Structure 1
Amino acid sequence: MLWVQTFDTVEEFRQALLKFKERSNRHWLPQRHGYVSPAQVRDAHAVTTEAA
Structure 2
Amino acid sequence: MKMFIDTSVIYLHKAPVDFRKGINGLSFIVEQNMNLNPFSEALFVFCNRTR
Q: Which TM-score applies when normalising by structure 1? A: 0.31
**Structure in which a larger fraction of residues adopt strand:** 2
Structure of higher CA gyration radius: 1
- Larger RCO (CA under 8 A, 6+ residues apart): 2
**Structure in which a larger fraction of residues adopt helix:** 1
